[in-house]
Amino acid sequence: MFSFFALILKVQYPTFMQTITFEIEKASDLQFLLLLAQRIGLKIVPPFVPAIDEQERQKHLSILAQGGDTSYIEDPMEWQREQRIDRVLPFRD
């Protein structure tokens, strides 16, 4: 079973910031690098992990691709004017 760990380090010098990405195969090497980074004061940014899995994402994309049902709107121009009418907003006089 092949797995790897991604580690993103943001190194900030007085005049610029540098981002470095490491791909590490062994968990022990990752732990060593994390300890070293912490020791010398590097900021560690966890990798982005999507909140939903790929199957759920595909389901949502297919719904978006089908578009919305606008058959209930008889006159789109009139509907748009009605939607854009100014309304009273809280804390605005």
Range of the domain at 10: 5-47
End-to-end CA distance of the chain: 64
Is residue 10 domain-resident?
Answer: yes
Is residue 9 domain-resident?
Answer: yes
Is residue 23 domain-resident?
Answer: yes
pTM of the full structure: 0.38
pLDDT digits (tens, 9 = 90+) for 36-76: 888 888 777 777 777 888 898 898 888 888 887 778 889 98
Is residue 12 domain-resident?
Answer: yes
Rounded distance between C-alpha atoms, residue 3 and residue 14, angstroms: 36
Is residue 93 domain-resident?
Answer: no
